[in-house]
A = this chain, B = another copy of it.
């Protein structure tokens, strides 16, 4: 059995939903279908989830939300019309959404989650109605009835472990099950959503709970590419990669799949197949626990910018038990999470994402470090990019570092920082943002293009 999840663009119009129907019907194993809210039909279109957020905000401000409400309903009814599904389901959707919008607003974050979640919940009903109208046994599944319980954290719910056992019972239901993504219920029966793009998470939880063979994630790209196509034209597609490789790549800008989405599948060792709704015959990319290394040591190159570093030096720092811990505690007291901590003997750098690090914070943190840790020097550098060279095959491949650093040197890129852990699934280079694209191209050339010369 397979769990199949479709993203917003795969369900944005009647035409897209027809494709989804064909895809599901073409494989008897595809029994559980996780749906997102309707996404964009064209670049300038709005996602239903965005409309719902705006609508909920208006309600919370006591402003008139009627126009937004109608735009949302219009999205569903235009799809229903296109698919010739009876108006009854649209009436259900209207009642449901109105009920939510008129609900309790004393806890704004909870209200927001309740409204947001309607995008997936109502679309699941519509998709189920279409399947039924096509003569297929299909049922909308309410996550509360199915036992998808989550922690009561608005916008950042975490699945509760007991859900997995409850969800296993879905195996006994007949027909195709249409399951809304993105949210679950607290033990008190309230709706809480996962973080944004959380339908991927729902699919992964169901895959784990139902103990299926495969979790198929349909999106709008043919595959995961070995490098960002906006930096290198027509890059190589990745056929198979491991969870760890996917995670390292997605960290630095590969956004095909929601980060947290892999966790439940990873824990159950269930492979995840990325496929394209608009080109279902393309093989796509499979994410697995282990792969053979026949494709060379490197599987992909990712990069991301907007990083900064806090460089701290203190003579004999190395002798001071507790120095690093104290330094990290100062950052933690500002709620900052760090990315990496490369260190020399008497110096240590902390790499963080720049967006969380305001100018006023910068001054305050610099002062606290200088005063509390009696440092010799604290220097903050902004405008850094991190480049990840990722591949399980690097683990014991002598010379990968040499190849990578030679390629960067020849492209005249100065390496500001290198961080290679014992894990050796990835090698990280810190460079200045202005050098980012040149560096990525040089590395791609070295590890992928060179072979074909």
Contact = CB atoms under 8 A, between A and B. Distances in A.
B341 A341 contact: yes
Contact of A415 (B315, B379, B420): B420
A349 B422 CA distance: 6
A176 B113 CA distance: 83
Given A260-B316, A402-B402, A422 B414 contact: no
A402 B398 contact: no
B340 A343 contact: yes
Contact of A343 (B260, B341, B381, B418): B341
A346 interface: yes
A421 interface: yes
A278 B406 CA distance: 45
A358 interface: no
- Number of copies of this chain that the complex holds: 2
Nearest to A415: B401
Contacts of A247: 315-316, 345-346
A347 B315 contact: no
Nearest to A408: B402
Contact of A315 (B263, B344, B348, B396): B263
A266 B313 CA distance: 14
A450 interface: no
Nearest to A396: B414
Main secondary structure of the interface of A (DSSP, over half): mixed
A346 B421 CA distance: 10
Contacts of A289: none
Contacts of A343: 340-341, 419, 421
Given A339-B318, A345-B248, A419 B419 contact: yes
A412 B396 CA distance: 11
Given A321-B335, A422-B309, A244 B346 contact: yes
A332 B326 CA distance: 11
A325 B336 CA distance: 12
A430 B419 CA distance: 12
A398 B421 contact: no
A25 interface: no
Closest 10 CB pairs of A and B: A399-B409, A402-B405, A325-B328, A401-B405, A402-B406, A349-B422, A418-B420, A402-B409, A347-B423, A344-B421
Given A318-B339, A341-B341, A344-B421, 16 more contacts: A259-B319, A311-B422, A324-B324, A340-B343, A341-B343, A342-B342, A342-B419, A343-B419, A344-B419, A345-B388, A349-B421, A399-B406, A401-B408, A402-B408, A417-B422, A419-B419
